[in-house]
């Protein structure tokens, strides 16, 4: 248990989600074990007592997330309604409390996986392992980042920016790391042996996380080798895929891959219907933000349902934006992404993330993903500049 | 009242009378329905023998049954278990729960014993006692033929009439109220069948909120690889799990003497679909449709039956598995217990069971003839009678299901602490230990598992009380279902509040078992799991369970659950929980 809480503490620091000294993480079996001592522990232990849970996390997010969370919690004092589809599916919304007391936090955690304590940080819990607290924390940061930047653009376009909002935005932007110029040391394919495939898949996710393009909990990777798709498992970390890859026969003759990523149907359809063998999926933030930017906004018959059935042919960074939800069913991305990928080598899913593909290895998919996010980030600030000028005029 | 009908049918079989009980709203709020509410009507009689006419047999639906809430067409069946002596319960699907609710009843409590073989026919608020002598000895499918397709029905087959300790009550032909032998309690009341049909609508407090909750749940389900994925349960049924336990080398094989069955890859879900064809079917109100029928209408075995009639008995003939499963359904027997008992017999007699042996012995058990009579008492009694109790792979006398505990320590602890005996569904830690939901845990370690098992037991007690399907919780959580519950009933609720209710339900079951003398000695696993490793490889070891780690985890579980060191309820905790 001790190794588990320290592992996620280190992971948060490594991924720049929180700074050292700002993380309190505890796991409880018969006794509670904390990563360190702190004056806040009595409150947290009371929260443990009030809930039927086994792990608890309190952390002040690192910048720019800290500024973003503070601003959202001030302007939305009850709960933050999310915009992206992925986190909205399981977080629903993020409650906010004013005071860091056990009662206040417990009241909101009774029905949600996380709560933002104003000017203090984020509390998340798990019923199985500290990994849940980490995943929920990371998801809160991702979803708040997307909402913050998307809202700012929208407010700017509508001439509704406030002084406080502008100040928060400028502060957050000042903390954005420069877009990374990188060279990924990915192996050249095609791969001829199964062990090379395992190695290639497990390495493919590392650079996207290392360079901050995608959070580790957000994405999946696959490679077709003969008649089998090797795909990352559901809930696996993109940068820790060793031992978390499922071989799935293309003819479904084994269900051992039932633990594969929820996007397995989309990966399978891509490799079955196109020459591509390597597929990379992640949730780079600016691509997600820009996928939701639409001139029509509320003046559209499909407003509110864009993620399900937007009928327009839209692109960003010359890549098609498609509708659809995760998994299966008539509105699932398996019905939209593979066709777009077959024509363009990549697709952006509305409010969700990016799929890229390559013929023989992950060099091209990685490069495409990097390029899409770079262009989307540039497009965001270019668009903001236009709305700024518009507002000033 | 919203969600609940507010009426429970009390049937007195001795006097052929019926009445309605109208529980106070607080009772509904405190125990919800299903296993929670049913336990409320069991607790005062739990020390009676299972065949005492005064022992209640309870059918109890939940507040979500008959509403838009996903997977809510289920019902709990409760009494004292003839097999284990513990509190007995089963969650059953099909249409019965929905029809009962639509007839205006939240549940039925059967009491007394009829003079002769009796049937009960319920149409809305009308209840008729019928003479069922003509059904004596009939199989479930023959009863179904005679009752027709109107509404829903529950019945017992010959196995219950012939005293099989793991007899099931079968619903709508092939949905089993399985484990615990509750079919025997049904038969002890001289009941042969109960039919029900209803025409009412369930009142819902806030339809818009229910629709929103439903959409949230369905969206999570659609994103779940285990449920709706390319290789998931909707596509392949629970049989999809067969390849999983095979690849993880935790497949109970040869009466748990091995954990790997070499031919398993050739008799997996895909192979059944190739050989028999398949179409989906399932419970009323469920979109998962986990049951599969072959092209000619035969019911294909679910995961547990599939494993136990193949790997556990060293059998590779899929026709035998389908046939054995059909016999269990038709005769009204629990497939896990039946196969587990045959595997025990195979080990004790030290001879393999040929295909025709398996079929013949199953029929003999159901009919109570020859060796079948002794086998019908279950593996524990059979092994004890043969002076070889170590050959019974049971917990609290109930045969173990198809996840070898050496392959998942949480399952090992959960089997031991289960209040109804060896059962995978009480804590079902396979979700995190193998299926990676909500996040993966180390399946070969007991670290942290005590609390995981306790929380999961509480959660599953709620799922059995709502009454929803556990599979849905591979994707959704009580957080989403609390929203549905509030929308349906109007009572405020949350995921964590529901867990508190779940804790009360589980603790009350521990109290009932304690009244019948159960202690820590019963919360244990067969010694084989501590002494012999499974069938590991150089890259995937399946070591024997560490006795020391298991005992430490069990001790931690008792502390977390608020039990004493012998696993007994404590006064302070009883007070705290308001029991």
The pTM of the whole model exceeds 0.80:
yes
Which pLDDT score is estimated for B390? Answer: 97
Would you place residue A304 in the very low, low, confident or very high pLDDT band (cuts 50, 70, 90)? confident
- The reply to whether residue A254 touches residue B268, judged by beta carbons under 8 angstroms, is yes
Cα separation, B551 vs B450, in Å, equals: 11
Choose the closest CB to B225 out of A28, A109, A258: A258
Cα separation, A29 vs B557, in Å, equals: 8
Residue B463 forms part of a structural domain: no
Q: Please report where in the chains the tokens 């031991």 appear, as a residue.
A: B416
Percent of chain B residues past pLDDT 70, beyond the cut:
100
Cα separation, A241 vs A245, in Å, equals: 7
- Give the pLDDT mean for A147-153: 96
* Among A217, A222, A256, the residue to mutate for chain B (most B Cβ within 10 A): A256
Contact of B244 with chain A, judged by CB distance below 8 Å, is answered with: yes
What single string gives the DSSP state of each residue in A147-205?
Answer: HHHHHHHHHHHTT---HHHHHHHHHHHHTSPPPP-----PPPS---SHHHHHHHHHHHH
- Pick from A289-293, A323-327, B523-527: least confident: A323-327
Topology agreement, domain A2-174 and domain A194-384: yes
What is the tens place of the pLDDT at every residue in B456-478?
999 999 999 999 999 999 999 99
Residues of chain B with pLDDT under 50: none
Helix intervals (H) in A15-55:
41-50
Which pLDDT score is estimated for A391? Answer: 59
Cα separation, A291 vs A285, in Å, equals: 10
Top-level class of domain A2-174: alpha beta
What is the tens place of the pLDDT at every residue in B342-372?
999 999 999 999 999 999 999 999 999 999 9
Residue A300 has pLDDT above 80, yes or no: no
Tokens of A154: 């929208």
- The reply to whether residue A327 touches residue B560, judged by beta carbons under 8 angstroms, is no
What CATH number does the domain containing B90 carry?
A: 3.60.9.10
* Among A105, A133, A255, A353, the residue to mutate for chain B (most B Cβ within 10 A): A255
Residue B84 forms part of a structural domain: yes
Which pLDDT score is estimated for A299? Answer: 75
Return the closest-CA partner of residue B503 out of B8, B32, B26: B32
Torsion of CA B159, B165, B169, B173, to 10 degrees: -40
| Closest alpha carbon within chain A to B502 | A52
Would you place residue A310 in the very low, low, confident or very high pLDDT band (cuts 50, 70, 90)? confident
Mind telling me how many Å the CA of A135 is from chain B's nearest CA?
A: 9
Which pLDDT score is estimated for A85? Answer: 78
What is the tens place of the pLDDT at every residue in B433-455?
999 999 999 999 999 999 999 99
- Pick from A206-210, A306-310, B505-509, B559-563: least confident: A306-310
Residue B59 forms part of a structural domain: yes
Residue A255 with chain B: CB contacts under 8 Å: 231, 236, 239-244, 268-270
Top-level class of domain A194-384: alpha beta
CA angle B573, B575, B579 (to 5 degrees): 100
* Among B219, B439, B495, B555, the residue to mutate for chain A (most A Cβ within 10 A): B439
User: Are A232 and A257 spatial neighbours (Cβ–Cβ below 8 Å)?
Assistant: no
What is the tens place of the pLDDT at every residue in A370-381?
999 999 999 999
- The reply to whether residue B494 touches residue A110, judged by beta carbons under 8 angstroms, is yes
User: Are B164 and B30 spatial neighbours (Cβ–Cβ below 8 Å)?
Assistant: no
Cα separation, B458 vs B499, in Å, equals: 6
Residue A86 has pLDDT above 90, yes or no: no
Which pLDDT score is estimated for A390? Answer: 53
| Closest alpha carbon within chain B to A3 | B447
Domain residue ranges of chain A, discontinuous segments joined by +? 2-174, 194-384
Residue B495 with chain A: CB contacts under 8 Å: 110-111
Chain B, window 455-474: residues with a beta carbon less than 8 angstroms from a chain A beta carbon = 455-456, 458-459
| Closest alpha carbon within chain A to B410 | A128
Residue B561 with chain A: CB contacts under 8 Å: none
| Closest alpha carbon within chain A to B243 | A256
Q: How many domains does one find in chain B?
A: 1
Q: Please report where in the chains the tokens 């009030």 appear, as a residue.
A: A50
Phi, psi (degrees; rounded to nearest 5) at A82: -90, 160
- The reply to whether residue A261 touches residue B556, judged by beta carbons under 8 angstroms, is no
Q: Please report where in the chains the tokens 């959409």 appear, as a residue.
A: B215
Residue A389 has pLDDT above 60, yes or no: no
Residue B275 forms part of a structural domain: no
Strands (E) across chain A are located at 18-28, 32-34, 55-61, 79-81, 93-97, 114-117, 121-126, 219-225, 228-232, 245-249, 278-282, 314-316, 319-322, 346-349, 353-358
Percent of chain A residues past pLDDT 70, beyond the cut:
97
Residue B219 forms part of a structural domain: no
- Give the pLDDT mean for A269-291: 97
Q: Domain span at residue B58?
A: 8-197
């Amino acid at each position: 248990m001790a190794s588990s809480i320290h592992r996620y503490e280190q992971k948060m620091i490594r991924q720049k989600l929180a700074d050292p000294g700002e993380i309190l993480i505890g796991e409880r079996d018969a006794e509670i074990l904390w990563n360190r001592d702190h004056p806040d522990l009595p409150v947290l232990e009371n929260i443990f007592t009030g809930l039927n849970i086994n792990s608890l996390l309190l952390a002040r997010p690192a910048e720019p997330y800290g500024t973003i969370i503070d601003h959202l919690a001030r302007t939305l004092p009850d709960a933050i309604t999310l915009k992206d589809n992925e986190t909205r599916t399981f977080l629903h919304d993020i409650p906010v409390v004013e005071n860091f007391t056990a009662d206040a936090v417990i009241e909101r955690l009774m029905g949600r996986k996380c709560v933002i304590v104003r000017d203090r940080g984020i509390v998340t819990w798990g019923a199985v392992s500290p990994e849940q607290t980490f995943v929920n924390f990371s998801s809160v940061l991702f979803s708040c980042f997307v909402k913050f930047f998307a809202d700012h653009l929208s407010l700017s376009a509508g001439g509704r920016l406030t002084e406080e909002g502008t100040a928060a935005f400028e502060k957050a932007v000042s903390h954005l790391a420069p877009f990374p110029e990188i060279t990924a040391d990915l192996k050249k394919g095609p791969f001829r042996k199964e062990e090379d495939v395992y190695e290639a898949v497990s390495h493919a996710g590392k650079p996207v996380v290392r360079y901050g393009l995608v959070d580790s909990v957000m994405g999946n990777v696959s490679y077709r080798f003969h008649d089998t798709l090797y795909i990352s498992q559901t809930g696996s970390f993109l940068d820790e895929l060793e031992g978390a890859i499922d071989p799935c026969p293309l003819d479904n003759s084994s269900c051992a891959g039932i633990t594969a990523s929820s996007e397995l149907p989309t990966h399978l359809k891509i490799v079955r219907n196109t020459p591509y063998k390597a597929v990379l999926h992640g949730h780079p933030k600016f691509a997600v933000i820009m996928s939701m930017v639409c001139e029509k906004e509320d003046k559209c018959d499909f407003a509110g349902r864009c993620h399900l059935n937007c009928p327009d042919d839209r692109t960003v960074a010359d890549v098609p934006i498609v509708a659809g939800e995760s998994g299966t069913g008539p509105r699932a991305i398996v019905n939209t992404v593979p066709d777009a990928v077959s024509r363009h080598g990549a697709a952006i899913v509305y409010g969700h993330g990016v799929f890229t593909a390559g013929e023989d290895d992950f060099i091209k998919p990685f490069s495409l993903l990097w390029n899409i996010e770079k262009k989307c980030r540039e497009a965001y600030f270019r668009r903001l500049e236009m709305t700024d000028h518009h507002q000033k005029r | 009242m919203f969600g609940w009908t507010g009426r429970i049918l009390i049937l007195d079989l001795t006097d052929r009378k019926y009445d309605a009980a109208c529980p106070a709203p607080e009772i509904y709020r405190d125990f919800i329905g299903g296993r929670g509410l049913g336990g409320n009507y069991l607790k005062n009689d739990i020390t009676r023998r299972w065949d005492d006419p005064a022992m209640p047999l309870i059918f109890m639906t939940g507040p979500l049954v008959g509403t838009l809430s996903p997977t809510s067409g289920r019902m709990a069946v409760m009494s004292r278990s003839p097999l284990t002596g513990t509190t007995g319960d089963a969650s059953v699907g099909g249409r019965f729960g929905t029809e009962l609710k639509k007839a205006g009843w939240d549940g039925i409590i059967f009491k007394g014993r009829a003079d002769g073989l009796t049937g009960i026919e319920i149409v809305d608020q009308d209840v008729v006692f019928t003479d069922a002598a003509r059904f004596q000895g009939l199989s479930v499918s023959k009863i179904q033929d005679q009752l027709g397709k109107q509404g829903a029905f529950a019945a017992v087959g010959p196995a219950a009439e012939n005293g099989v300790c793991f007899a099931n009550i079968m619903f709508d032909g092939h949905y089993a109220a399985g484990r615990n032998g509750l079919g025997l309690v049904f038969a002890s009341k001289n009941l042969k069948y109960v039919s029900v049909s209803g025409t009412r609508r369930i009142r819902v407090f806030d339809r818009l909120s229910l629709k929103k909750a439903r959409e949230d749940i369905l969206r999570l389900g659609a994103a779940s690889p285990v449920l709706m994925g390319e290789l998931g349960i909707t596509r392949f049924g629970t049989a999809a799990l067969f390849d999983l336990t095979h690849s993880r080398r935790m497949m109970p094989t040869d009466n748990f003497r091995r954990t790997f069955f070499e031919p398993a890859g050739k008799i997996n879900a895909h192979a059944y679909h190739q050989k028999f064809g398949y179409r989906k079917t399932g419970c009323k109100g469920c979109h998962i449709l986990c049951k599969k029928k072959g092209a000619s209408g035969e019911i294909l075995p679910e995961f547990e039956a599939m494993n136990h009639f193949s790997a556990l008995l060293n059998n590779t003939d899929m026709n035998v598995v389908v046939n054995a499963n059909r016999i269990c359904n038709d005769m009204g027997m629990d497939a896990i217990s039946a196969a587990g008992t045959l595997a025990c017999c195979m080990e004790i007699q030290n001879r393999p069971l040929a295909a025709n042996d398996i079929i013949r012995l199953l029929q003999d058990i159901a009919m109570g003839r020859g060796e079948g009579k002794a086998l019908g008492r279950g593996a524990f009694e059979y092994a004890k009678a043969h002076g070889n109790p170590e050959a019974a792979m049971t917990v609290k006398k109930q045969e173990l299901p198809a996840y070898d505990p050496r392959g998942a320590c949480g399952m090992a602890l959960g089997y031991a602490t289960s209040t109804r005996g060896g059962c995978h569904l009480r804590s079902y830690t396979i979700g995190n230990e193998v299926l990676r939901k909500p996040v993966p845990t180390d399946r070969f370690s007991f670290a942290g598992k005590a609390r995981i098992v306790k929380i999961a037991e509480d959660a599953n007690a709620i799922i059995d009380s709502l009454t929803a399907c556990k599979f849905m919780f591979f994707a959704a959580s009580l957080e989403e279902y609390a929203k549905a519950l509030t929308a349906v009933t109007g009572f405020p609720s949350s995921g964590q509040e529901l867990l508190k209710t779940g804790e009360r339900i589980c603790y009350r079951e521990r109290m009932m078992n304690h009244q019948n003398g159960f202690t820590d000695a019963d919360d244990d696993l067969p010694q084989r799991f501590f002494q012999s490793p499974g069938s590991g490889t150089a890259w995937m070891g399946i070591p024997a369970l560490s006795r020391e780690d298991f005992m430490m985890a069990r001790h931690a579980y008792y502390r977390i659950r608020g039990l004493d060191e012998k696993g007994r309820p404590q006064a302070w905790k009883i007070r705290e929980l308001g029991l």
